[in-house]
A and B are shown apart, each in its own frame.
Chain A
Amino acid sequence: MSEFVEQLALCVERGKVNRESLYPPDLHGQDGTDELAKQALEQGLKPDTILEGCILGMDRIGAKFSENKAFVPELLMAAKAMTAAMTHLKPFFQSGAVKRKGTFVIGTVAGDLHDIGKNLVAMVVEGGGFEVIDLGTNVTTAKFLASIEEHPGCSVGMSALLTTTMVNMEGTIKAIKEKYPETLVLVGGAPVTKQYADKIGADGYSPDPQGAVAILNKKVA
């Protein structure tokens, strides 16, 4: 692994966005992910290398989150640092020069407006090397279906925070499976259990974002 990848991964993991950012205090005044990514491209490094550093950094913070060694604020800060680096990759994603592992469509289920869990999963999955299509909150079955149509071969994630809304997952999954039986569907959220996920026909369940990445990685392996 190159020194650059390691340095970028460290900045992602620690949430070091740019030179001006005050956090983390021990890296104050040093370059963050924004400068590192920019400089890498100027120096002719392959854009893939930036993606590699982001994936590594998010993988590390995601693992710590799963082990209760990092918490929501640390994960959000890492995601912010990752986004600062990924912004420099946008033209390469658009031209196809840098390819991602796959596409992940995500949204909270119809009726549910609580998006913190969904956002965390979206960030970590993006940091895992996937293109994320975030449909936002209160996503209807029709909207999920339209997005699958638009992104052939994508996987789908849906979350619910409420017991009153998690029941809406079942109908959406049924509709997806009828029209796109090959589509991998993951579910999650505070009231959702593995047992419930199995019952409603989901292909996967994870209590944390890192678990979702692991399932998606398995699909593309």
Chain B
Amino acid sequence: MTSFERLQNRMVGNPVDRPPNFDIMMQFATRHIDKPLRDYYLDHRVLVQANMAMLNDFQLDIVQAISDPYREAFDLGLEVSFPEQSLPISTSPLLREPSDLARLTTVDPVNGRRMHDRLEAIRLFREKVGGCTPIMGWVEGALAEAADLRGVSTLMLDLFERPDWVIELLEFCCEQAILFARAQMAAGADIIGLGDAVASQVSPAWYRLYALPYERRIFQAVKNSGGIARLHICGDTTLILHEMATSGADIVDIDWMVDYQKAAEISDNDGPAICGNFDPVKIMLQGSPEQVREAVINCLSIGGDKNLSAAGCEIPINTPYSNLHAQTAALSEYYSMA
């Protein structure tokens, strides 16, 4: 069974040889091939090389063009610096004043620098593993992108002080995300992940107002292009789980703070597959292989037939290799137990 067949079967609850491993790997993958993080963020060849190594050495069931939040924002004009061994850093917001929004225009991803680099990564993935391993592209959700452009704290206050302007900004960000999602699908992506980290920091009412409608529109565009939609909101999403299930996502990532039993409820009947949710720090980084095994099997037994295996968020850079191998072994063990 190929990783693609494994995913397609698992997403609808059909039997598989083992549950897919859908860990998000970025910094760890770069460390694994002994390259500077900066190269992973700026050079699609390094990103692809790192992902291919993860496929071969840790039996992942996905290759992923996800890297950092600033692909779209960089091409829109945000100043971003790229230290050799750290995440990209944005030091000042692009939208210092609300009036700055009027000067912003969407960028065709083909003409962008960092968006284009991601398209190149997807094309290269297609050449190497297309049809066998799911290829995941990525966009920022409209609310997350708005926070990237304006600054998180300022945007949070804007929600109170100039809600109409925020809607205008979200419309812009949504339009940009749809352009980028479509371009990634055209380049050969099978899945589009949507990261909306800041959405877990607002009330459920505001999630429904300022995040969910745009997630739905972006995912609709993904579906219209024949893609699989994956929603990733970092943090405690307990209060918005059922709304997330209505976003149109086929796969909903669940971070480790959420009770996985509760999350599994959204997967019932025609609900999306859920993906998660052991603790990337306490279990993967700091735990023992036996603790990893227990956590992986526990999530699978709770998550139901459509559950995908992954830590709640990105695998930390210094995760012991033995713990990743323990996850791989646990997935095979779970199959033999079934």
- Distance, CA A40 to CA B166, complexed state (A): 35
Q: Is the CB of B160 within 8 A of A23?
A: yes
Nearest opposing residue in chain B for A165, CB measure: B86
Q: A195 vs B156: C-alpha distance in the bound complex, in angstroms?
A: 32
Contact across chains for B202 and A72 when beta carbons are under 8 A apart: yes
- Assess the A162–B281 pair: CB atoms within 8 A: no
Task: Name the residue among A21, A80, A191 with the largest chain B CB count within 10 angstroms.
Answer: A191
**B90 nearest CB neighbor, chain A only:** A113
> Which chain A residue has the least Cβ–Cβ distance from B236?
A68
A27 close to chain B: CB less than 8 A: no
Residues of A contacting B286 with CB < 8 Å? 195-196
Among A156-193, those with CB < 8 Å from B are 162-164, 167, 190-191, 193
Q: Which residues B20-72 have CB closer than 8 A to chain A?
A: 27
Whether A73 touches B317, Cβ cut-off 8 Å, given contacts A191-B281, A196-B286, is no
Is B335 part of the contact surface with A, judged by Cβ < 8 Å? Answer: no
Contacting pair A76 B281 (CB below 8 A): no
Are A23 and B206 neighbours in the complex by a CB distance under 8 Å?
A: no
Closest partner residue, chain B, to A161 (CB atom): B87
Q: Kindly list chain A residues whose C-beta atoms are within 8 Å of the C-beta of B86.
A: 111, 164
Assuming the A-B contacts A76-B153, A116-B152, are A164 and B317 also in contact, with contact meaning beta carbons closer than 8 angstroms in the complex? Answer: yes
Q: A71-B201, A163-B316 are in contact. Are A76 and B282 (CB under 8 A)?
A: no
Given A23-B160, A68-B239, A163–B202 Cβ distance below 8 Å? Answer: no
Contact A76-B239, Cβ < 8 Å, known A113-B89, A164-B317, A195-B282: no
Q: Flag whether B285 is at the interface (Cβ < 8 A).
A: yes
Which residues of chain B come closer than 8 Å to A63, judged between CB atoms? none
In angstroms, how far is the closest chain A Cβ from the Cβ of B184?
27
Quick check: is A206 within 8 A (CB to CB) of the other chain?
no
Interface 1/0s, chain A 136-172, versus B by CB < 8 A? Answer: 0000000000000000000000000011100100000
Given A23-B160, A73-B206, A113-B89, A193-B201 contact (CB < 8 Å)? no
- Which residue of chain B lies nearest to A123 when distances are taken between CB atoms in the complex? B153
> How far in angstroms is the closest Cβ of chain B from A155?
24
A77 proximal to B (CB < 8 A): yes
Q: Is the CB of B89 within 8 A of A73?
A: no
Contact with B along A190-205 (1 / 0, CB 8 A): 1101011000000000
The listed residue (B89, B239, B280, B318) touching A164 by CB distance below 8 A is B318
Cβ contacts under 8 Å, B203 to chain A: 70-71, 73-74
Shortest Cβ gap from A68 to chain B (Å): 7
Question: In the bound complex, do residue A193 and residue B285 qualify as a contact, i.e. CB atoms below 8 Å apart?
Answer: no
- A193 lies within 8 A of B282 (CB): yes
Assembly CA distance A70 to B281 (angstroms): 27
CB nearest to A75 among chain B residues: B156
Question: CB-defined interface of A94-138 with B at 8 Å, one 1/0 digit per residue?
Answer: 000000000000000001010010010000000000000000000
Nearest Cβ in chain B — how far from A99, in angstroms? 29
Q: A22 an interface residue at 8 Å Cβ cutoff?
A: yes
Contact of B316 among A21, A73, A164 (CB under 8 A): A164
Contact between chains at A77 and B202 (CB < 8 Å): no
A57 close to B (CB within 8 Å): no
Those of A49-82 within 8 Å (CB) of chain B: 68, 70-74, 76-77, 80
Asked whether A15 is an interface residue with its Cβ less than 8 Å from the other chain, the reply is yes
Q: Which of A73, A163, A167 contacts B156 (CB 8 A)?
A: A73
Q: How far is the CB of A71 from chain B (nearest CB, A)?
A: 5
Point out the residues of chain B lying under 8 angstroms from A195, CB to CB.
Answer: 282, 286
Query: Does residue B161 face the partner (Cβ distance < 8 Å to A)?
Result: yes
The residue in chain A whose Cβ has the minimal distance to the Cβ of B316 is A163
List residues of B whose CB falls within 8 A of some A CB.
Answer: 27, 86-87, 89, 152-153, 156-157, 159-161, 201-203, 206, 235-236, 238-239, 280-282, 285-286, 316-318
What are 30 of the A-B contact pairs (CB < 8 Å)?
A: A15-B160, A21-B161, A22-B161, A23-B160, A68-B239, A71-B202, A71-B203, A71-B206, A73-B156, A73-B202, A74-B203, A76-B153, A76-B156, A111-B86, A113-B89, A116-B152, A119-B153, A163-B280, A163-B285, A163-B317, A163-B318, A164-B316, A191-B280, A191-B281, A191-B285, A191-B316, A193-B281, A193-B282, A195-B286, A196-B281
Closest 9 CB pairs of A and B: A163-B316, A72-B201, A23-B160, A73-B156, A191-B281, A71-B203, A76-B156, A116-B152, A71-B202
